[in-house]
Chain A
Amino acid sequence: MPDTEVSVPGGAQGQVPSLIEDSPTQDLRTEEMMVNMGPQHPSTHGVLRAVVTIDGERVVDVDSDVGYLHRCFEKISEKLTYQQIIPYTDRTDYLAGMTNELALVLTVEKALGLEVPRRAQFIRTVMSELQRIHSHLIWFGTFGLDLGATTPFLYAFRDRETISDLFEEVTGARMMYNYMRVGGVRNDITAPWVKRVRDFLKQFPAALREYDDLLTGNPILKARTRGVGKIDAQTAVAYGASGPVLRASGVPYDLRKHDPYLVYDEMDFDVAWASEGDVLARYQVRLEEIRQSIRILEQALEGLPEGEFLGKAPRIVKLPPGHYYGRVEGPRGEVGCYIVSDGDRKPYRLHWRAPSFVHLQLLPAMAKGHLMGDMVAIIGSIDIVMGEVDR
């Protein structure tokens, strides 16, 4: 189109006069507005109410109102035996049941000084890593969906379906496994099941490359996530971040390497970490974690020994008086189980250290100065599950 001549009234010298006489813009007073995001919202990953104070489109402050999913887990566990608490732990972080149960069961076994058979350790490792991939696939799908990409969601859930079927075959359930027991696991895994896992692992790296093509190289994703929600290492450590949130800020701290449990100290894998600390870094860290989980799974299945899947454990589990803390590296971060026992069959006090609870505190630090539209990307990148925030 040729340049059109535009005549501006009185603009011969190039000045553009104000269209409104005595424009009040210099005295314009802006006010901050408090906007409610949630508790019913497609992108808050559960019942989270984020009260966002915005100045125009810029976020000034975020106050998270949690507690909508509080189900009194800790109070209830004071009147349950340790075995009875296992299904409840499934329901705290409902997208990572295996690692939750593991946190409780490892704490009890540590307190009792119980020896767990090697086959059970390997089975638990396999289940934990499958759970990690399972959970990260949900995160991947919903993260893309939040940003407007609908296709990766379906692809991720297709692969996740294979893992759900694997879990269902062994434990009988797709989500609430109730699989870990004090001393081992509930059922054994069979050779055909192992073969099915191996078949899945053979075709899954190609699927991951497909996801990379779909989402990671996408310029819209990069524009919406690079430099957004940045936290540095000091902030991450000071706020108690763990898991991918901490590792994406330049601190390669992974409980599987730095406080090993099960058979992780015999596995050869790398800690996925990044330095930027923004949403894109957390995204890349989680994708890389999936690749490392595939490595661990292959080794664990290779080295699976024969033996018992459930060791000798007392039928009535009574922890000696004292307090105990057990921690595992869940898909979202460090899951901790703090038990205070007075010698009875039931805990005197049980406290669940939920990584999502701790990470939600970082929301103001991550969101300040960004646009309202970035809130969705930031909340998605922390990967919270309200079940474990509220318990």
Chain B
Amino acid sequence: MNASLRRFLTNPKAVVGLVILMLVVLAAIFAPVIFPRNPWQMASRPFLPPFQDAKFWLGTDMLGRDILAGLAYGAQISLIVGVASTVVAVVVGVLFGAMAGYYGGFVDDALMRVTEFFQTIPTFVFALLLVAILSPSVMSIIIAIGVVSWPPVARLVRSEFASLRSRDFVKAAVVLGQSNRQIIFSQILPNTMSPVIAMASLMVASAILTEAAISFLGLGDPNMMSWGYMVGAARTVIRQAWWMSFFPGIVILLVVLALNLVGEALNDVLNPRLARKGRQ
């Protein structure tokens, strides 16, 4: 793992991605310190263009709110939603996939039909629907994104389990008398985690995008400043005030790009098949 970590850290893609992510994480953590004022609070005159007032580098929006402060606080919700919904998706996906792949047969058929049912519904529309039903809040957005994004994890874990299931070391564990639970969680699961981790980092990116899209459409948590909300609210005045939607748009782009870079780098390092190809 140390060699993997070293390889990961010397991968230029990973470094660029990590640097951007670190900045975002720092912004999220220190937002209340750097911008003690509530981001919803009017800070200066509305429609202040960027780079004109040193106190408000990126200008203000139509209600005079500081765009830069909004970006910092928006990082909080983006990261919370991105990480938490991915955790939900990974936990559900791993459980479903592990069960289906390990037990096979009827259990597999039943679980995979459920998975397919979820996959047939367009994910974004489904997420919107869930948020609308649960009424918009951070929690409901996390649940909605989690619920729509677990099927790929389940399929991945299932196929890994199905192939690892017939490996000799798993048979050895069966023969040694280990329980199914022990075999699933201690023998097989650790061996499936590399592709799952690589996939999860990409899922965080898509979760952040989905949250942004939900907020853009006005179904976000109305009490949390979010990048998607900023773009969505400012799109109406895009002709008069480009900066209001431009900066949050750029930040979304950068974070998703960074997560994709990190995800790809993780994939290079962790995905055994690709890694092996690289070594020979």
Indicate whether A and B interact: no
A interface list, Cβ under 8 A from B: none
**Which B residues lie at the A interface, using CB under 8 A?**
none
